[in-house]
Structure 1
Amino acid sequence: MADHEYRVWAPRATRMRLVSEGASTEMEDAGGGWWRQSGPAGEYGFQIGDDDAVRPDPRSRRQPRGVHDRSHTFDPHEHDWQDGDWTGRRLAGGVIYELHVGTFTPEGTFDAAAGRLEHLASLGVTHVELLPVNAFNGTHNWGYDGVLWYAVQEEYGGPAGYQRFVDACHAAGLAVIQDVVYNHLGPSGNYLPLYGPYLGDERNTWGEVVQVREPEVRRYIVENALYWLREMHVDALRLDAVHALVDDADDHILEALTVAVASESAHQGRPLTLIAESDLNDPRLVTPREGGGYGLDAQWSDDYHHAIHVALTRETTGYYGDFEPLGALAKALERGFFHDGTMSTFRGREHGHPIDVDRMPSWRLVVSAQNHDQIGNRAVGDRIVDVLDDSQLLVAAMLLYAGPFTPMLFQGEEWAASSPFQFFTSHPEEELGRLTAEGRIAEFASMGWDADVVPDPQDPETFRRSVLRWEELGSGRHAVVLEGYRRLAELRRDWAALTDPSFHANRVVVDEETRTLRLTRGGSLRVAGSSDAEAAPGTGPVDVLVNVGDAVWEAAVPLGATLLFGTSPSVALDDAAVHLPPGSGAIVALPIA
């Protein structure tokens, strides 16, 4: 008996056939480019026009044998969800942990990742962000070459494994952010153009762009977002490279997503969050729709990463050049963006727009000291652990946990992981694999890197080198750095000043000559009229002190100050000054005036 209704949008087809259980059945024209037919649940595919080849479903929920093969039905409602009491987590005050399922554990599966959630909770993590997991060609990949947006990669555990992971996260009190890519499709296994006008004429770095002006393609995107939030119980989506979404419609695709997700959030009664990755430094993304913006909840800010990176490593090549003065870090702390209409020498033009710091809460900017892009898009995928000592690594962590923004950690940074995160692919097509490797080498050769140094993305060792080594966790410098991260997590939880969302709660003083920075945070949350004796623990202001210069800094602090955190044992509070050796930092609780 037929027990499944198959539907597919294929306006380019003059006829469509459903192939299931070895039989090919003509599909009915349902109008508007849609076709439908009933058939048994299980393995299936579509024959487009008079082509005998069987293609996967553009809305496939499972691809057991890869993206070139037939699809398989999957009922997301069969999972026995255990998160009925889960009410979600707001992003404000949170900490994000970015991970790649395939390299986070040696097993590279959702189930194995679920076994590490207690470790994440010890870091103060509230949101687990997964790099894209939708189906791509091959066995390992960063995920940004996905071609079937509704299917979950089988090697990770498929859709059932994904549901178990989300359930485990919610049981541990952790929200799940799914990284989704709506601006392009991968180069292998993309059969969508055979069905309809999914791709436009424009091109970007990754190839032809998705045709978001087409109503049914917009519907495809919006319904995909809702699929993750409804059927998979995801709490938030990170939208990849929204600056590459070409849309001149009055109702921009980002607005359409905002409206749909807000409606879904109201229906489910829990916060559902949209986070944009953008290269535009444009606060319009997170400005409410009634204020003329797109209404997203948060966006990435690379400027803060660049400012921290340059301050600690003193690397000033490429786009890092504008961030050489320590004042760049100070401006990012006080204004959110460094480039807010200023000249970007890397781009050769003015870049960015100013943030209205009187109205926008600082948590709407997601920041990092390391992430998959900034590590993986270096020639050898090297981490800052290779050039910084333990104290300097903890300075970077301190500027995340004690800074005004939403911090995001990248897998392994919390224990100074020795494994790189390199660019790896596993294209089965020999020619595509060769072109990918040659393109990667040519890209870095133009930057002065020796071709012999750049790893071959197709070499399985490139992938294996990138897998985290959990055995490092409890020894040597790894244990020292991990202890520092955990202490910072405690302070962020205990001190209200460290999650104060007001830009005006941040006062920064920089000395360019000595390369020292003092960030004073908070104090504004104390109840007006309360006396010192009435002030609750953790409600006073704090100083975040950073010395990235070459000499010791004796940082003056008021009498009665308390040292809460030092990045090395050499950091000490003596009378009315904090002793800070080069490459160190401290957090000091200030007496309430």
Structure 2
Amino acid sequence: MTFFEVWAPEAKQVELVLGERRVPMERSARGGWWELDEPSAGAGTDYVFSLDGGPARPDPRSRRQPHGVHGPSRVVEPGRLPWSDAAWSGRVAPGGVIYELHVGTFTAQGTFDAAIAKLDHLAQLGVDLVELMPVAAFPGRHGWGYDGVALWAVHEPYGGPAGLARFIDACHARGIGVLLDVVYNHLGPSGNYLGEFGPYFTGKHHTPWGAAVNLDDAGSDEVRAFVVGNALHWLRDFHLDGLRLDAVHALADTRAVHILEELAAAVDALAAQLGRPLLLIAETDLNDPRIITPRQHNGYGVHAQWDDDFHHALHALLTGERHGYYADFGSIAALAKTLTGAYFHDGTRSSFRGRSHGRPVDTALLGADRFVVFLQDHDQVGNRAGGDRIAAALSPGLLRVGAALLLTSPFTPMLFMGEEWGAGTPWQYFTDHQEPDLAAAVRDGRRREFARHGWEAGSVPDPQDPATFARSKLDWAEIAEAPHRALLDWHRRLIALRHSEPDLYDPGLARVRVAFDEAERWLVLTRGRIRVAVNLADAARSVPLDRPVESVLLASDEGAGAQQPHEERTAAVRSSGDSVRLPAESVAIVRVTAQ
């Protein structure tokens, strides 16, 4: 027997459809709900709902869509999923390293089971948490996942719910936690039937995707319950360690208790119940620290946020790009401000926005671990016209410098899949829309968007072309080849150093110091007794330190295939006095003497 329920407050009649059978459902005592105990249904039963004799529609809370987002739902009993992680105690962000991956392009096969075969690579790299891009069911076979429409189901081509469970279980067996990217600010245009069931959307607010998800209009209590329930479903039923919340600045909510605060409180309660930590990480463009401020200090209580300012500051400094939102970045001073204050725009004018933006972070209240930072992520690679990674633009020396600044920063660092070996494959925007009009609209819209930024339309890959998807898959053969092998070793050593040195995982943002010389192109990041000395110039530099060097912990030129002669390399790692001499485009991580 299976208990079915659905919220359809405006319907006069709701039927459960099982093949050729149509079984009337009964109104629940809860307003707007319909329910039914059906003895003939069990795990594996396919079903749909019909409202007022209308067309068959999947369950808004469907746990599985084996025939795609337009087909019938299938009953799944979470208790039957395969688990062997009873001893798992969870993972937290402080001191950890996150690895973002897209299931469909992480391997040639593009499935959870194929990804399991690569987990030993991540364990050897030193990754603490894997962050999966969205796996909620979306239309077509492949895509980024941000156009999901069956938010409780797992994309079937990846392996469905059982495949996700196997992947998470395998991660936990290797000591790796798993985060999932979830999207609550909009649904995709194809297969989105939520609006037929109830007031899930409202015209009260405008969004880039049309009517906003209804978080504060009439009927929003149930919509908010849908969102919170969905988050708890992923964390509880799939043993996840946290969620990344997509673009929370697009969650239009004017109620006294914001949906983020309600969600964070519910997740904290579940963590207490389960006896293991659970993380909520917000993607936000607001530069508003209230989102991650604890609720007892009048914040929303979300545990961490993505920090785009760090990316912009580091990317613009290393590449020299200044277009779009990079316009205010590119100086060493911009990176220094971000390293010590998390935000660059903390109330300052943003020329890209044409206004002031952000507010300062209270570094005495908020630890640096609450800010997830990156040199690359899916957006910053995939939303370039050609999907080119930063390795295509930087010298081997600057690639190592970027990795060092990321992985020795006070924040929680994140790598994008393949970054650790400087993957030569692009990561492009790809879709698999089955409706010709929608496919054409996406293709033409993307080309128009990039044309406004100066790219020729013909240089923008067709998202619908299967070749665009295929070329975005990682080439795992690269890791055995030069120069990829050396860069992978550099990332492994950096992560091992981060894990072994308490000064490098100290979350105290107020204790971080940065000295720099804009003209000479050097900077020194201070983390306790550790100094990260960087030479960005195209010639050797003597970089001054505040104390004598006690030991060299890591140097990018040593054994890294640098072009400098041997004498120049050894001069860098054997320096004495209150300075270190660095070859061009290199970094040395040293421990200085105690005072």
- Give me the TM-score of the superposition, normalised by structure 2: 0.95
**Could you tell me which of 456, 466, 479 is aligned with 1:460?**
466
Q: After superposition, what is the alpha-carbon deviation per residue over 1:138-197, rounded to whole angstroms, capped at 9, x for unaligned?
A: 000100000011000000000010111111111110111010000100010000000001
Q: Structure 1 residue 148 and structure 2 residue 150: aligned?
A: yes
Distance 2:319 2:112 in 1: 35
Distance 1:513 1:551 in 2: 13
Q: Structure 1 residue 111 and structure 2 residue 113: aligned?
A: yes
Give yes or no for contact 1:390–1:480 (8 Å, CA) kept in 2.
no
Superposition map of 1:274-289 within 5 A: 274-289=280-295
Which residue does 2:576 correspond to in 1? 575
C-alpha RMSD of matched pairs (Å): 1.1
**Could you tell me which of 196, 208, 211 is aligned with 1:208?**
211
Q: After superposition, what is the alpha-carbon deviation per residue over 1:428-472, rounded to whole angstroms, capped at 9, x for unaligned?
A: 001100000000000000111001100010111110010000011
Distance 1:441 1:461 in 2: 17
| SS in structure 2 of the partner of residue 227 of structure 1 | helix
Q: Structure 1 residue 34 and structure 2 residue 33: aligned?
A: yes
Which range moves more in the overlay, 367-376 or 18-27? Answer: 18-27
> What is the CA-CA distance between 1:337 and the residue it aligns to?
0.5
1:304 partner amino acid = F
| SS in structure 1 of the partner of residue 141 of structure 2 | coil
**Could you tell me which of 58, 64, 67 is aligned with 2:60?**
58
Which residue does 2:550 correspond to in 1? 561
Give yes or no for contact 2:314–2:330 (8 Å, CA) kept in 1.
no
| SS in structure 2 of the partner of residue 280 of structure 1 | coil
> What is the CA-CA distance between 1:314 and the residue it aligns to?
0.7
> What is the CA-CA distance between 1:22 and the residue it aligns to?
2.3
Which residue does 1:301 correspond to in 2? 307
> What is the CA-CA distance between 1:582 and the residue it aligns to?
2.6
Which range moves more in the overlay, 204-213 or 90-99? Answer: 204-213
Which range moves more in the overlay, 14-23 or 333-342? Answer: 14-23
> What is the CA-CA distance between 1:545 and the residue it aligns to?
1.2
> What is the CA-CA distance between 1:206 and the residue it aligns to?
2.9
Give yes or no for contact 1:383–1:420 (8 Å, CA) kept in 2.
yes
Structure 2 residue runs without a partner (length 5+): 559-563
**Could you tell me which of 2, 5, 21 is aligned with 1:4?**
2
Q: After superposition, what is the alpha-carbon deviation per residue over 1:26-61, rounded to whole angstroms, capped at 9, x for unaligned?
A: 11111411111232130000111121x211000000
Give yes or no for contact 2:82–2:165 (8 Å, CA) kept in 1.
no
Distance 1:62 1:417 in 2: 34
**Could you tell me which of 546, 552, 556 is aligned with 2:534?**
546
Distance 2:83 2:461 in 1: 42
Give yes or no for contact 1:340–1:354 (8 Å, CA) kept in 2.
yes
Give yes or no for contact 1:514–1:550 (8 Å, CA) kept in 2.
no
> What is the CA-CA distance between 1:321 and the residue it aligns to?
1.1
Which residue does 1:534 correspond to in 2? none
Which residue does 2:392 correspond to in 1? 386
Which residue does 1:324 correspond to in 2? 330
**Could you tell me which of 368, 373, 379 is aligned with 1:367?**
373
Give yes or no for contact 2:9–2:33 (8 Å, CA) kept in 1.
yes
| SS in structure 1 of the partner of residue 328 of structure 2 | helix
2:33 partner amino acid = W
Distance 1:547 1:206 in 2: 44
1:183 partner amino acid = N
Distance 2:447 2:412 in 1: 35
Superposition map of 1:217-228 within 5 A: 217-228=223-234
2:301 partner amino acid = G
| SS in structure 1 of the partner of residue 519 of structure 2 | coil
Runs of at least 4 residues of structure 1 off by over 4 A? none
Give yes or no for contact 2:186–2:212 (8 Å, CA) kept in 1.
yes
Which residue does 2:99 correspond to in 1? 97
| SS in structure 1 of the partner of residue 483 of structure 2 | helix
Q: Structure 1 residue 167 and structure 2 residue 169: aligned?
A: yes
Distance 1:237 1:217 in 2: 19
Distance 1:400 1:418 in 2: 20
Give yes or no for contact 2:111–2:159 (8 Å, CA) kept in 1.
yes
Give yes or no for contact 1:66–1:138 (8 Å, CA) kept in 2.
yes
Q: After superposition, what is the alpha-carbon deviation per residue over 1:498-523, rounded to whole angstroms, capped at 9, x for unaligned?
A: 1111113211111111121111111x
> What is the CA-CA distance between 1:99 and the residue it aligns to?
0.3
Which residue does 1:313 correspond to in 2? 319
Which residue does 1:592 correspond to in 2? 594
Give yes or no for contact 1:13–1:48 (8 Å, CA) kept in 2.
yes
Distance 2:474 2:350 in 1: 35
Give yes or no for contact 2:206–2:212 (8 Å, CA) kept in 1.
yes
> What is the CA-CA distance between 1:559 and the residue it aligns to?
3.8
Superposition map of 1:112-511 within 5 A: 112-201=114-203, 202-213=205-216, 214-511=220-517
Give yes or no for contact 1:420–1:466 (8 Å, CA) kept in 2.
yes
Which residue does 1:44 correspond to in 2? 47
Provide closer, same or farther for how the CA distance between residues 207 and 586 of structure 1 changes in structure 2, counting only shifts above 3 A. Answer: farther
Distance 1:560 1:163 in 2: 49
Give yes or no for contact 2:82–2:162 (8 Å, CA) kept in 1.
no
Distance 1:365 1:560 in 2: 30
Give yes or no for contact 2:425–2:475 (8 Å, CA) kept in 1.
yes
Which range moves more in the overlay, 195-204 or 185-194? Answer: 195-204
Distance 2:86 2:78 in 1: 16
Distance 1:129 1:100 in 2: 9
Give yes or no for contact 1:10–1:35 (8 Å, CA) kept in 2.
yes
1:544 partner amino acid = V
> What is the CA-CA distance between 1:266 and the residue it aligns to?
0.5
> What is the CA-CA distance between 1:90 and the residue it aligns to?
1.4
Which range moves more in the overlay, 481-490 or 115-124? Answer: 115-124
Distance 2:331 2:576 in 1: 31
2:336 partner amino acid = A
Distance 1:259 1:312 in 2: 40
Q: After superposition, what is the alpha-carbon deviation per residue over 1:386-423, rounded to whole angstroms, capped at 9, x for unaligned?
A: 11122211111111111100000000000000111101
Distance 2:400 2:22 in 1: 62
Distance 2:314 2:82 in 1: 44
Give yes or no for contact 2:134–2:183 (8 Å, CA) kept in 1.
yes
Distance 1:172 1:564 in 2: 27
| SS in structure 2 of the partner of residue 141 of structure 1 | coil
Which range moves more in the overlay, 242-251 or 549-558? Answer: 549-558
> What is the CA-CA distance between 1:311 and the residue it aligns to?
1.1
Give yes or no for contact 2:514–2:524 (8 Å, CA) kept in 1.
yes
> What is the CA-CA distance between 1:560 and the residue it aligns to?
4.3
Which residue does 1:527 correspond to in 2? none
| SS in structure 2 of the partner of residue 97 of structure 1 | strand
| SS in structure 1 of the partner of residue 125 of structure 2 | coil
* Aligned pairs, number: 572
Which residue does 2:561 correspond to in 1? none
| SS in structure 2 of the partner of residue 476 of structure 1 | coil
Give yes or no for contact 1:301–1:365 (8 Å, CA) kept in 2.
yes
Give yes or no for contact 1:276–1:296 (8 Å, CA) kept in 2.
yes
Distance 2:417 2:594 in 1: 37
Give yes or no for contact 1:297–1:364 (8 Å, CA) kept in 2.
yes
Give yes or no for contact 2:549–2:590 (8 Å, CA) kept in 1.
no
1:553 partner amino acid = R
